[in-house]
């Protein structure tokens, strides 16, 4: 069963628009970690954020913000005032306490920001 679902395959926006990426996860563990990674065209995955299951505070880092809601099993990611450099594939991932060495990835959302 898919543990992480990113329903949006592709999103295209014009520069300066906000864009929100959805992530819904599934787990029976009470202790788990959620991640977001960015994959630019160069290929490497760049770590953006890690959030544990006991910390539901929203987080803001510059133009990036994350909304974690356990009630809906969602960990959504918003880019405010998007820029062309934000064009990339974004992955949401889950790590469960029972197998805490492994990341279960969503299929990714391709974001294209047009000038």
Site for other proteins, rule CB under 8 A = 4, 9, 33, 35, 37, 42-47, 50, 91, 93, 95, 100-108
Between residues 80 and 107, which has the closer beta carbon with respect to other proteins? 107
Task: Give the nearest distance from C-beta 33 to other proteins in angstroms.
Answer: 6
CB of 115 to other proteins, least distance (A): 26
Closest distance between other proteins and the C-beta of residue 105, in Å? 3
Pairwise CA distance, residues 35 & 45, whole Å: 12
Radius of gyration over every alpha carbon of the chain, rounded to an integer in angstroms = 14
- Alpha-carbon gap, residue 74 to 96, rounded angstroms: 15
- Distance in angstroms (rounded) separating the CA atoms of residues 107 and 93: 9
Positive/negative CA dihedral, 23, 21, 103, 74: negative
Q: Which residue has the tokens 């889950």?
A: 94
Closer of 27 and 104 to other proteins (Cβ): 104
Considering beta carbons, is residue 17 or 45 the nearer one to other proteins?
A: 45
In the bound complex, what is the minimum distance in angstroms from residue 98's beta carbon to other proteins?
12
């Amino acid at each position: 069963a898919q543990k992480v679902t990113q329903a949006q395959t592709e999103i295209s926006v014009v520069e300066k628009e906000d864009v929100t990426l959805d992530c819904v996860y599934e787990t029976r563990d009470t202790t788990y970690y959620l991640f977001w990674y960015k994959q630019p065209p160069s290929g490497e995955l760049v770590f953006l954020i890690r959030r544990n299951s006991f910390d539901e505070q929203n987080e803001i880092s510059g133009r990036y913000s994350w909304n974690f809601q356990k009630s809906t099993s969602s960990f959504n990611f918003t880019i405010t005032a998007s820029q062309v450099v934000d064009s990339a594939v974004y992955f949401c991932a889950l790590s469960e306490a029972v197998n805490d060495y492994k990341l279960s990835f969503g299929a990714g959302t391709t974001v294209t920001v047009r000038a």
